[in-house]
Amino acid sequence: MPQFLATTDAGFEAAFAALLGMKREDSPEVDDIVAEIIADVRVRGDAALIELTAKFDRLDLTPQTLAFTPDEIEAECARVPAAERDALELAAERIRAYHVRQMPEDELWTDPDGATLGWRWTPVSAAGLYVPGGLASYPSSVLMNAVPAKVAGVGRLAVTVPTPDGVVNPLVLLAARIAGVDEVYRIGGAQAIAALAYGTETIAPVDKITGPGNAFVAAAKRRVFGKVGIDMIAGPSEILVIADRDNDPDFLALDLMSQAEHDESAQAILITDDAAFGQAVADAVAKRLETLERRAIAGASWRDFGAIITVRDMNEAAALADRIAPEHLEICTADPEALAGRINHAGAIFLGGFTPEAIGDYVGGPNHVLPTARSARFSSGLSVLDFLKRTTIAKMSPEALKAIGPAAEVLAKSESLEAHGLSVRARLDRLNEG
Amino acid sequence: MPQFLATTDAGFEAAFAALLGMKREDSPEVDDIVAEIIADVRVRGDAALIELTAKFDRLDLTPQTLAFTPDEIEAECARVPAAERDALELAAERIRAYHVRQMPEDELWTDPDGATLGWRWTPVSAAGLYVPGGLASYPSSVLMNAVPAKVAGVGRLAVTVPTPDGVVNPLVLLAARIAGVDEVYRIGGAQAIAALAYGTETIAPVDKITGPGNAFVAAAKRRVFGKVGIDMIAGPSEILVIADRDNDPDFLALDLMSQAEHDESAQAILITDDAAFGQAVADAVAKRLETLERRAIAGASWRDFGAIITVRDMNEAAALADRIAPEHLEICTADPEALAGRINHAGAIFLGGFTPEAIGDYVGGPNHVLPTARSARFSSGLSVLDFLKRTTIAKMSPEALKAIGPAAEVLAKSESLEAHGLSVRARLDRLNEG
């Protein structure tokens, strides 16, 4: 059973704080192992990759078979049934259409002092996308990472995906091809992150690495951060559903379970202003948990981290939502836009009864890589901005330097940075001579 | 003497690669100490802050004197001479005017399928700004961090600045007041970062921490990352000047020294297409190093990490600049805009002979917190975006769900995520009944 809380309970504040503070993830101590793997790949390159892949993935590779050939990719893609191919293509097109709108503008203007100022966006030259193997090898995640990179204009996009025992997920290769990925390598784990960050004889290094992975991958990404850019370190999935009684309890039960089924550490929370409705949703969840394929995972998540919170009114719901700062927020109320407008911290918002969160996982268009563990308070989901960087531009006219240079000189002196001040003063003196 | 390289040298590629790979910073191993300090502040709060401040800053505080009072700030600000006050106000106004233009737009649209999509930007609720004590206590950095935060709409902005032996830099307090900072605390080091991230009895926790600091501060920021957002971990300053012979060698010498004087680990590089001009700049640097106040620091930086590179033509200069990916790039050539257009990786570009880099440090308008250590390949300087986060929005009409829901269901099944698929299917069935 999930927790049942109500804001009218005497102990609510303590119970809610405990819910927020729950440690849902125990990261195993893998940092030393990861440090060794990275060092090994840096020193021995391909040879280390091949040895580690034989050890962890039980797969014998050569420098020639590290990468999939175009023919191999073609053959795998041909195995994908038409319905799945069509669905991937629809998803890619919708994700592309959404992310194209995120492309920021360059700006350049001249201010009244005669200073020309602005900025310019340029893409990262090369990006690497990590794709997990096994159960969590999601073709949708390939699209969600690769499409924004290509929209941003990344020149070279390399995917690494482990193929334990040689087993390939053809949908992953098809998603990569649809998204315009340039290279796909049969490697995984910390060794793949090391290869992307530092390069080997066969794999050229990239500038930015994104994509989800297990504890080894996460630790490796933390370690190579600085040498390359990384995206966020994703935690277990979360969903918060805010709903009034005018909803089908079974629909909301399925929405809650759609995140719970990801991971035993996932968290699904319902906030409602009607305790009886909350109970009805709990009953619907219990019924669904009898038959769901992933009932063991979803049931554990719901039991350990699930919650149903009854509030006096939707103002309370908005305030609690901001404290939860959920990855996914579904709002199923009479005026969902109005309620959404009162909530500041959420990775993605799904409005109304016809927008199950799962739409956003696949075909809605917005990215499904979103901030977890309350980090929506300070961070955003993946976007084209993750594959772009901004260069600021400044050009002073002689008049501008005369107008603002003296203030720079004063401040440089106040900070005891003499050369800073002199670099301005020397030019001002020249202008004043002229 | 700096290194003299020329692209026509037989050994150029190896020498240039060595220059790029130079390890300029030796981070002391402070991680264990920092972990202890953070744990102490989390457990004992104000008491730990007071004890650590007595130990490291030789200053006795109480919970009542942790923060500067408005009267204390007022009294310190009154000590600032008018010229410095005016310069700070000019700088703040220009930084504000630049950063206001960075504010991104919210978007919301309905696509042909009937899906309403978009995103919304909201500010971080509370931010903390770390300001170093002592020599590196730069009021300009207070403006560069605090002004963008306030432009972004951050509700609460707290500054921590250590005051060793009780010595206060009144310019820092004035810069904080001009920028609209709400709280200023007399603490520093890892303990200040811990207090901002986790809060104490007196200091409420923040959501994002920015600002430069020593190795302890950097290690503490890495440790609290995830609990709060952080800005980049800044390395030593860098400047690359690309110049032809039509420049005053002394001006460029001062520009190079303006970064070299920051830190013995700073790096200043000149690229020119005229070897004789390169020698003239080297001579001018040598002359300036005889008298500069910070000649010991600037001289060590120039000797150990400085370089003058002669290229065949400016196309080579552009290619080398991209490999260096400098924090600051000054272009002093006949057509600096054209050359800038061929360079992709730089934190900030300064164009033409009247734009010494120091203008950008103080009064230009663009931010002076910029990516170092080649990270301009994948990251950007500080901006209002660092204090905002984006929430994506999706709302399906019944027609939209009918149009794209089936594809989501197909993909959910292909990923063995049954509840995802059922959450869509249940609604589609209801719509088809209706």
Please list the residue range(s) of chain B that carry CATH number 3.40.50.1980: 3-25+235-365, 31-104+123-230
Task: Please give the CATH architecture assigned to the domain spanning A31-103+124-230.
Answer: 3-Layer(aba) Sandwich (3.40)
Cross-chain residue pair B404–A353, CB shorter than 8 Å = no
Of residues B316, B372, B325, the one with CA closest to residue B344: B325
Of residues B66, B19, B384, the one with CA closest to residue B195: B66
Residue B3 is inside which H or E element, if any? strand B3-6
Class of residue B434 by CB neighbours under 10 A (exposed 0-12, middle 13-18, buried 19+): exposed
Banded model confidence at residue B22, pLDDT cuts 50, 70, 90: confident
Which CATH code, of 3.30.420.10, 3.40.50.1980, 3.20.20.80, 3.40.190.10, is assigned to B31-104+123-230? 3.40.50.1980
Check the annotation: does A214 bind a ligand: yes
Q: What is the mean pLDDT of chain B?
A: 96
Q: How far apart are the CA of A226 and the nearest CA of chain B, in angstroms?
A: 7
pLDDT at B234 over 90: no
Q: What 3-state DSSP class applies to A330?
A: strand
User: What integer pLDDT is reported at residue A26 of this predicted model?
Assistant: 67
A239's tokens: 């969903």
Q: How far apart are the CA of A80 and the nearest CA of chain B, in angstroms?
A: 10
- A398 to chain B: which residues are within 8 Å by CB? 354
A345 is catalytic: no
Return per-residue pLDDT of chain A as tens, 434 residues.
899 999 999 999 999 999 998 887 767 778 899 999 999 999 999 999 999 999 999 999 999 999 999 999 999 999 999 999 999 999 999 999 999 999 999 999 999 999 999 999 999 999 999 999 877 789 999 999 999 999 999 999 999 999 999 999 999 999 999 999 999 999 999 999 999 999 999 999 999 999 999 899 999 998 898 899 999 888 899 999 999 999 999 999 999 999 999 999 999 999 999 999 999 999 999 999 999 999 999 999 999 999 999 999 999 999 999 999 999 999 999 999 999 999 999 999 999 999 999 999 999 999 999 999 999 999 999 999 999 999 999 999 999 999 999 999 999 999 999 999 999 999 999 999 87
Of A398, A400, A419, the CB nearest to B298: A419
A10's tokens: 């005497």
- Give tens-digit pLDDT for B256-265: 999 999 999 9
Q: State whether residue B294 sits within 8 Å of chain A by CB.
A: yes
For the B3-25+235-365 domain, the top CATH level (class) is alpha beta
pLDDT at B119 over 90: yes
User: What integer pLDDT is reported at residue A1 of this predicted model?
Assistant: 83
ipTM for the assembly: 0.96
Closest residue in A to B141 (Cα) is A415
Banded model confidence at residue B152, pLDDT cuts 50, 70, 90: very high
**Main-chain dihedrals φ then ψ at residue B392, nearest 5 degrees:** -85, 155
Of residues B210, B139, B218, the one with CA closest to residue B179: B139
pLDDT at B26 over 70: no
Check the annotation: does A247 bind a ligand: no
Q: What is the dihedral of CA B266, B292, B254, B15, to 10 degrees?
A: -40
Give contacts of B 113-142 with A, CB under 8 A: 115-117, 119, 122, 124-125, 135, 138-140
Q: Please report the DSSP string for A219-288 in residue order.
A: HHHHHHBTTBEE-----S-EEEEEE-SSS-HHHHHHHHHHHHTT-TT-EEEEEES-HHHHHHHHHHHHHH
Of A122, A357, A378, the CB nearest to B389: A378
List Cβ neighbours of B107 (8 Å cut-off, separation of 6 or more): A101, B118, B119
Strand partners, A390: A121
- B401 to chain A: which residues are within 8 Å by CB? 354-355, 359
Q: Please report the DSSP string for A138-190 in residue order.
A: -HHHHHHHHHHHHHHT-SEEEEE---GGG---HHHHHHHHHHT--EEES--HH
Tell me which of A327, A330, A357, A368 is the catalytic residue: A327
Check the annotation: does B420 bind a ligand: yes
**In what side-by-side order are the strands of the sheet with A229-230?**
A183-185, A156-160, A126-130, A208-210, A229-230
How big is chain B, counted in residues?
434
- A350 to chain B: which residues are within 8 Å by CB? 394-395
Please list the residue range(s) of chain A that carry CATH number 3.40.50.1980: 31-103+124-230, 235-380
Cross-chain residue pair A389–B380, CB shorter than 8 Å = yes
> Token match 């921590």: residue?
B160
Cross-chain residue pair B392–A349, CB shorter than 8 Å = yes
For testing the chain A interface, which of B327, B410, B428, B433 should be mutated: the one with the most A CBs within 10 Å? B410
pLDDT at B178 over 70: yes
Q: How far apart are the CA of A158 and the nearest CA of chain B, in angstroms?
A: 16
Q: State whether residue A162 sits within 8 Å of chain B by CB.
A: no
Cross-chain residue pair A350–B171, CB shorter than 8 Å = no
User: What integer pLDDT is reported at residue A232 of this predicted model?
Assistant: 82
Stronger pLDDT, B28 or A415, i.e. the higher one: A415
List Cβ neighbours of B215 (8 Å cut-off, separation of 6 or more): B27, B28, B30
- Give tens-digit pLDDT for B62-103: 999 999 999 999 999 999 999 999 999 999 999 999 999 999
User: What integer pLDDT is reported at residue A25 of this predicted model?
Assistant: 74
Q: How far apart are CA A210 and CA A128, in angstroms?
A: 6
Tell me which of A328, A330, A357, A368 is the catalytic residue: A328
pLDDT at B170 over 80: yes
**In what side-by-side order are the strands of the sheet with B156-160?**
B183-185, B156-160, B126-130, B208-210, B229-230
What CATH fold (topology level) applies to the domain A235-380?
Rossmann fold (3.40.50)
List Cβ neighbours of A33 (8 Å cut-off, separation of 6 or more): A190, A216
Cross-chain residue pair B364–A418, CB shorter than 8 Å = no
Cross-chain residue pair B419–A115, CB shorter than 8 Å = no
